Amino acid sequence: MWRRRPSWGCATRRALLAAALAAAVVVLYAAGGSPNGMPASLFFDDDAQAGLEDIPASNLTADHLLDGLLTTEFSYRSCRSRYEFAGYHKKSLHKPSPYLLAKLRNQEALQKRCGPGTAAHKKALRQLDSGEGVAHDDADCRYLVYINYRGLGNRMLAIASAFLYAVLTERVLLVDGGKEVADLFCEPFPGTTWLLPRAGWRSPLRRLVGYDGGSKESLGNMLQSGAVVVSADGNASWSSPQPPPYVYLHLAGGYGFHDKLFFCGAHQRLLRGVPWLLMRTDNYIVPGLFLMSPFRGELEAMFPEKDAAFYHLGRYLFHPTNAVWHAVTSYYRSTLAAADRRVGIQIRVFHKKQPPQRVLDQLLSCVRDEKLIPETIAGNDTLSHAIMVTSLSSWYYERIKGEYGGRVAGGVHQPSHEGRQRWEDTAHNMRALSEMYLLSMCDVLVTSGYSTFGYVAQVLAGLRPWVMARPPMWADDWTEGLDPQALPCQRAASIEPCFHSPSAYNCATGRDVDLDKVTPYIRRCVDVSCGIKLVNESSSQW
Ligand code: GDP
């Protein structure tokens, strides 16, 4: 485990002092001061209070900059996680390609040239609000709006997917989600904002929540309503003289056949001329982009290691705000840092009727079968282990602690137990984000199948987790669809997230294909039989 710290001046020593004080608070809480290991007081931005100096860009090393993924254009203290991330994670053997870096720098320039507040953005908004289609001029800016949807893990996968699609189609990415996004994440693009500004009353951007599969502006419905004409040779064009001012892309789980035609090259050419695209997805659609002929070459050049796509995208885009990072690093230092090996266990139960004891038995069998934690009390010559459990419930933590508490020198920890998932609750989401990052600082991961929360943690960690099978959510009886012979857990084929609902439709032949057989770097997921994921073509090196 590589845990080298950035080169610190006296400014940072003051920050360390503040962090040490905060760590003392955690120890107090961990010792029983609070039922919650991450009290609200831990989420504060000490840099904002202390008037600290910045670390100059010239002191930032290739490690701080994640081998060129990040630019030096941000101030260090405005978002400490950006340049401190590397110091809390394994040294990366997976470098971003020069082509990816060039694409990121181009995208940053585009975001700056066309972002909110620029003349180009004002012009594009005027045209959108006027409701009239406009002929596309290459000098104009085009936009992709990500519509806020579902839990944090889903949102992070969707934002990364939308970002990659924006890069491929030379669009500016704007992210819906209001102040909460700003409370969770720092800006990823220098000199501009990725936050979608509040729209005017008559703007199509005003009520994004209202768009769904039934919206007449969706690509799927436009394809059915005669707004698009398809010629005998398969070319698609708009039936109106100009492309529409905006199109809604409905790519949410359970989407229909016509919405899935988004994944066809002909429809991508059609969308190119549309100034505004509004995208709703809860999926990691990146493997689907790799399956599209217009994008495949670009993507293969950007990601020579296909199974490192989200690894680079996630590290580039997501930087927890100082308040979240303060909680993460304080908790890490006080509970996990001292152990030689950290085992992260993520328990997510989707089926309400599933007996907790069965989930626990499955987890304990997985840990035992795979020898993830020593079964005997550690002697002086063995590695010390710490276990961190994340779950909405404390029930599992209590029992895992009962089982392993006396055996692991580093103890068993649970940062929070929220009881249930909450919507539009920033403090709740800050804790969820902290726990994803804490899991990503572990050396071994056991995750719950189907959970995007676990996917984000595994990719940020760069670890192939042991994935526990889960019963299908739609089954009335929780045992339905479960293979009684199934292993308690299986090692994921790659660190990449699973695309839960891909399109199997081959646009050229008009037939469905077996997605497992199209290319050597796309395989079925161990946890979702109809899902696909990017894998390494040769032997896995993660
Ligand atoms: P998924 O539903 O497992 O795919 O993951 P999401 O992150 O999309 O949605 C689940 C949401 O429930 C999270 O975003 C959190 O708000 C909450 N949640 C689920 N598990 C945990 C957990 O272990 N810790 C915390 N703090 N929140 C959780």
Res 48: pLDDT:
58
Please tell me whether residues 312 and 339 are part of one structural domain. no
Please tell me whether residues 234 and 342 are part of one structural domain. no
**Is 452's C-beta closer than 6 angstroms to any atom of ligand 1?**
yes
Nearest CA owner, ligand 1 atom 9: 151
Nearest CA owner, ligand 1 atom 22: 391
Please tell me whether residues 208 and 256 are part of one structural domain. yes
Res 18: pLDDT:
38
Please tell me whether residues 296 and 388 are part of one structural domain. no
Last residue of a domain, one of 284, 317, 350: 317
Angle at alpha carbon of residue 289, lines to 287 and 292, rounded to 5°:
120
Cα-to-centroid distance, 436 and ligand 1 (Å): 9
pLDDT tens digits, residue range 137-172?
666 899 999 999 999 999 999 999 999 999 999 999
In testing the pocket of ligand 1, which one of 363, 421, 436, 499 has its CB within 8 Å of the most ligand atoms? 421
Ligand 1 atom nearest residue 390's Cα: 23
Nearest CA owner, ligand 1 atom 25: 432
Res 540: pLDDT:
61
| 353 inside domain | yes
Cα-to-centroid distance, 259 and ligand 1 (Å): 27
Segment 255-267 shows an average pLDDT of 96
pLDDT category of residue 423 using cuts at 50, 70 and 90: confident
Please tell me whether residues 105 and 254 are part of one structural domain. yes
Segment 55-62 shows an average pLDDT of 87
Last residue of a domain, one of 317, 338, 360: 317
**Is 451's C-beta closer than 6 angstroms to any atom of ligand 1?**
yes
Nearest CA owner, ligand 1 atom 17: 421
Residue 34 confidence (pLDDT) above 60: no
Res 63: pLDDT:
93
| 119 inside domain | yes
CA dist 20 and 29 (Å) reads 14
Res 20: pLDDT:
40
| 538 inside domain | no
Please tell me whether residues 308 and 427 are part of one structural domain. no
Q: Poorest-confidence range of 176-180, 365-369, 399-403, 431-435?
A: 176-180
| 55 inside domain | no
Res 528: pLDDT:
93
What is the pLDDT of the chain when averaged over all its residues? 89
Residue type, 446: V
pLDDT category of residue 14 using cuts at 50, 70 and 90: very low
Nearest CA owner, ligand 1 atom 23: 391
Please tell me whether residues 211 and 176 are part of one structural domain. yes
Strands 505-506 and 511-512: antiparallel
pLDDT tens digits, residue range 381-418?
678 999 999 999 999 999 999 999 988 999 999 999 99
Question: How many Cβ atoms from other residues are within 10 Å of residue 78's Cβ?
Answer: 16
Number of domains in the chain: 2
**Is 392's C-beta closer than 6 angstroms to any atom of ligand 1?**
yes
Please tell me whether residues 290 and 333 are part of one structural domain. no
What are the DSSP calls for 250-318, one per residue? Answer: E-STT--HHHHGGGSHHHHHHHHT-SEEEEE--S--HHHHHTSHHHHHHHHHH-SSGGGHHHHHHHHH-
CATH label of the domain that carries residue 454: 3.40.50.11350
Please tell me whether residues 356 and 374 are part of one structural domain. yes
Contact 318, 185 (CB under 8 A): yes
pLDDT category of residue 51 using cuts at 50, 70 and 90: low
CA dist 65 and 72 (Å) reads 8
Segment 498-520 shows an average pLDDT of 95
pLDDT tens digits, residue range 274-310?
999 999 999 999 999 999 999 999 999 999 999 999 9
| 462 inside domain | yes
Residue 23 confidence (pLDDT) above 50: no
**Is 448's C-beta closer than 6 angstroms to any atom of ligand 1?**
no
State pTM to two decimals: 0.92
Please tell me whether residues 282 and 372 are part of one structural domain. no
Report which of residues 112 and 56 the model is more confident about: 112
Residue 31 confidence (pLDDT) above 50: no
**Is 283's C-beta closer than 6 angstroms to any atom of ligand 1?**
no
Give me the percent of the chain exceeding a pLDDT of 70: 89
Report which of residues 30 and 535 the model is more confident about: 535
| 36 inside domain | no
Residue 30 confidence (pLDDT) above 60: no
Cα-to-centroid distance, 425 and ligand 1 (Å): 12
Cα-to-centroid distance, 435 and ligand 1 (Å): 9
CA dist 165 and 143 (Å) reads 11
Please tell me whether residues 262 and 114 are part of one structural domain. yes
| Closest-CA residue to 289 (of 315, 262, 319, 313) | 262
Res 382: pLDDT:
79
Going 450 to 455 to 457 to 458, the CA torsion angle's sign is: positive
**Is 500's C-beta closer than 6 angstroms to any atom of ligand 1?**
no
| 18 inside domain | no
Nearest CA owner, ligand 1 atom 11: 151
Structure tokens at 10: 């006296």
Ligand 1 atom nearest residue 428's Cα: 16
pLDDT category of residue 484 using cuts at 50, 70 and 90: confident
pLDDT tens digits, residue range 204-225?
999 999 999 999 999 999 999 9
**Is 453's C-beta closer than 6 angstroms to any atom of ligand 1?**
yes
Last residue of a domain, one of 317, 345, 378: 317
Cα-to-centroid distance, 421 and ligand 1 (Å): 6
**Is 154's C-beta closer than 6 angstroms to any atom of ligand 1?**
yes
Please tell me whether residues 296 and 330 are part of one structural domain. no
Res 539: pLDDT:
62
**Is 428's C-beta closer than 6 angstroms to any atom of ligand 1?**
yes
- Its domain, for residue 244, covers 98-317
Residue the block writes with tokens 């994640």:
66
Res 476: pLDDT:
72
| 272 inside domain | yes
Res 35: pLDDT:
46
